[in-house]
Amino acid sequence: MNSTISNPYSFSKQNVNQHEWVESMRKSIVEHEDEEVSKIPVSIFTVPNVLLATNPESYIPQQVALGPFHHWRPEVYEMQRYKLAAARRYQKYMNISFDRIVEVMKKNDEARIRACYHKFIDMSGDALIWMMAVDMAFLLEFLVVYSMREQGLTQTKDVTSGAMSHLVDVSGKKLSHMTILRDIVMVENQIPLFLIKTMLKHQHRDDQNKSAGETLKSMLIGVYRELSPFQEQELANVDIEDCDHILDFLFHMTVPNNKELGIYDMNIDMEHEGIEYAGDGDDDQEKTLPDPSNLRKFSNIIWDLLSKSNAGMVRIFKKIIFGKPVALMMKLPWKILSSLPILKLMKGPIENMFENFRGEGGEETKDESGETKTPTIEEITIPSVMELAKAGIIFSPVNGGIFDISFDVERCTLYLPVVELDVNTEVYLRNLVAYEACVAAGPLVVARYTELMNGIIDTEEDAKYLRERGIVVNHLKSDKEVADLWNGMSKCVKLTKVEKMDKVIEDVNKRYGKTWRVKLSKFMRTYVFASWKLLTLLAAMCLLFLTTVQAFCSVYSCARVFHQLPEISGSEGTAE
């Protein structure tokens, strides 16, 4: 039997060139003697499947592929002719030939390039370096637009003419320009910056006083201004030498460390270890109330005694408590009662109590098949914008970044950075969150910010309120799209802890918990509805009493009994 057919893992089946494969193995094992290369940390990752499944368009390049991960995809390989045209034009600005720079990079940087990617690059050395060189020429021609913006120039030279003129323009308003801009910030579409700096070193520049690193930084700052949804008054001083690729630079600009913020001595207050949620912080009042656990224990004891007893009256109680007619009768007027102003506040807890009528399984939710459902995402515990506004909390915009989020307890004001939302924002934030999760070098700050925004923006009304307060600058179609953007973001991240934002959440929840609405709701939930078993028993006794009265009146004429009662003195005097 033909081995090619019988063995699905054969070289022939996979169209693998055996000679090139053996040569790559030999070079990786025998000739690889550079210990420094082996210490290079992985910096370019693939997006985890759990994130990719939520919104693939935000992570998979749609128009142009940079680097090896998506190079051969037919959808993006069509851009190859524009890349080659960009490389031909870029040769005019280099002081050495394209062949020579490829030869230098292959000799000095091939092993380092492979070390940057966390997946094995199944390409020959020549193919990898030529691919990188052509992609970098295309990328630099695209980035020069932002360098000229930073310099205040309004017209490009010949770099955006010809084959790329319909893709890229200085104003950045063309659809292809915006698509390429989103593609170059995706996690899987990154190229190591040290390669880009190598090409810039061999480029003729008008300003010979600027180094390749300074030129590249000027380009990337222009990209950051274009993509960042925040409006910082002062940008962080990020060292381009500390950044691995474009997305890493954008991440440092969005979440700068103390050095990049110019802070060299910082005392951290570690008093606040946990987060207190809505309704906490009213300790003085709670000290005067009885321990709710004692009431719960008492009701549980009574309930257990009754549930284990089979006496005649107890059986009647059980039928009344769990009987379907009674349950339906109790639910019929609920829509009318819940419309009353006071009962509106207690609607949720009362509905939870009715759900528990069927047994002890109230803590788990089940689907139609009867299997327990596991929550897919845990949302941060904080009231929505409209709930906070009704509680007297003021929202105020601040021109800054994520670290400028704060809450003034005395003024009862929550300060949030102005966020400008457009078609690029979701891709930008999603890839920052994905990259932050892959690197995991510290607290997941961007993820925590998206969780906070998802927590306070639940509906279109919440988004509209923030827009009217100047916190959200909406370039999308509607306020509903804003709410959907934030609510969709948190479906792909897990909860994390960031000390400063957690303190803000804690303070907001404390202030919200001091309102009379929340106090009443908490009191009813803790001291009334927590003892639903006892309430159910009392309700059953009332129903039994009313049923007995009704049965009595059906046998004996209640009206006749009432007529036999003595009349009041006033009536007797009138009769006389």
Cα gap 469→244, rounded to integer Å: 38
Q: Using CA atoms, how far apart are residues 497 and 378, in angstroms rounded to an integer?
A: 13
Full DSSP string of 323-358: -HHHHHHHHTTHHHHTTSHHHHHTHHHHHHHHHGGG
* Per-residue pLDDT at 158: 46
Q: What average pLDDT does range 120-129 have in this prediction?
A: 89
Mean pLDDT, rounded, for 226-239: 92
- How far is the CA of 197 from the CAs of 20, 93, 112, in angstroms? 30, 14, 14
Q: Which of 22-36, 68-82, 407-421 has the lowest mean pLDDT?
A: 22-36
Which segment of 93-97, 310-314, 407-411 scores lowest on mean pLDDT? Answer: 310-314
Q: pLDDT at position 11, please?
A: 43
Give the C-alpha separation, 293 to 531, whole Å. Answer: 10
Res 456: pLDDT: 95
For the whole model, what pTM was predicted? 0.71
Asked if residue 372 has pLDDT above 50, the reply is no
| Confidence band for 23, pLDDT divided at 50, 70 and 90 | confident
Calculate the CA dihedral of residues 292, 298, 301, 304 and round it to 10 degrees: -70
Higher pLDDT pick, 137 / 282: 137
Looking at residues 94-99, what average pLDDT do you find? 88
3-state secondary structure of 398: strand
Q: If pLDDT is split at 50, 70 and 90, which confidence band does 376 have?
A: very low
Mean of the pLDDT values across residues 130-153? Answer: 86
Helix 175-183 with 212-227: angle, nearest 10 deg: 110
- Which of 49-58, 358-367, 507-516, 561-570 is the most confident on average? 49-58
Which pLDDT band holds residue 174 (cuts at 50, 70, 90)?
confident
pLDDT of 368 reads 46
> Quick one: pLDDT at residue 332?
45
For residues 506-531, average pLDDT: 71
| pLDDT score at 6 | 42
Secondary structure in 3-state letters for 448-460: HHHHHHHHHCCCH
* Alpha-carbon torsion (374, 376, 381, 385), positive or negative: negative
The per-residue pLDDT for 339 is 56
Confidence of residue 300 (pLDDT cuts 50, 70, 90): low
Residue 276: what pLDDT?
A: 40
What count of Cα atoms within 13 Å lies in the side-chain half-sphere of residue 421? 22
Task: Report residue 474's pLDDT band, with 50, 70 and 90 as the boundaries.
Answer: very high
Q: Report pLDDT for 66.
A: 96
List, for residues 193-232, the tens digit of each pLDDT value.
999 998 998 887 666 677 889 999 999 999 999 999 998 8
Element (H, E) at 414: strand 413-417
> Would you kindly state where each structural domain of the chain is located, as residue ranges?
1-32, 34-227, 385-527
Reply yes or no on whether the pLDDT at 14 is more than 90.
no
Identity of residue 333:
P
Mean pLDDT for 534-550 is: 76
Tokens 């490389």 correspond to what residue?
Answer: 87
Q: Which of 180-184, 185-189, 509-513 has the lowest mean pLDDT?
A: 509-513
Cα gap 556→550, rounded to integer Å = 10
pLDDT at 302: 62
Q: Are 277 and 509 in contact (CB under 8 A)?
A: yes
Task: Count how many Cα atoms sit within 13 Å of the Cα of residue 443 in the half-sphere of its side chain.
Answer: 15
Among 15-19, 132-136, 177-181, 341-345, the minimum mean pLDDT is found in 341-345
Positive/negative CA dihedral, 444, 446, 450, 455: positive
- Cα 221 from Cα 223, distance rounded (Å): 5
pLDDT given at position 175: 72
Residue 519: other Cβ atoms inside 10 A: 15
SS3 230: strand
Q: Is the pLDDT of residue 351 over 70?
A: no
Q: What is the pLDDT of residue 151?
A: 72
Q: What confidence score (pLDDT) does residue 443 get?
A: 86
Predicted local confidence at residue 277, as pLDDT: 39
Q: So what's the pLDDT on residue 393? A: 93
Name the least confident of 115-119, 321-325, 466-470: 321-325
Q: Calculate mean pLDDT across residues 424-449.
A: 91
Q: Give the per-residue pLDDT at 122.
A: 82
> Do residues 321 and 357 touch, judged by C-beta distance below 8 A?
yes
* pLDDT for the residue 496: 73
Check whether 363 has a pLDDT greater than 80. no
CA 563 to chain centre: 72
Q: What is the dihedral of CA 195, 201, 207, 210, to 10 degrees?
A: 70
pLDDT at 375 over 90: no
CB-count burial class (<10 Å; 0-12, 13-18, 19+) for 354:
middle
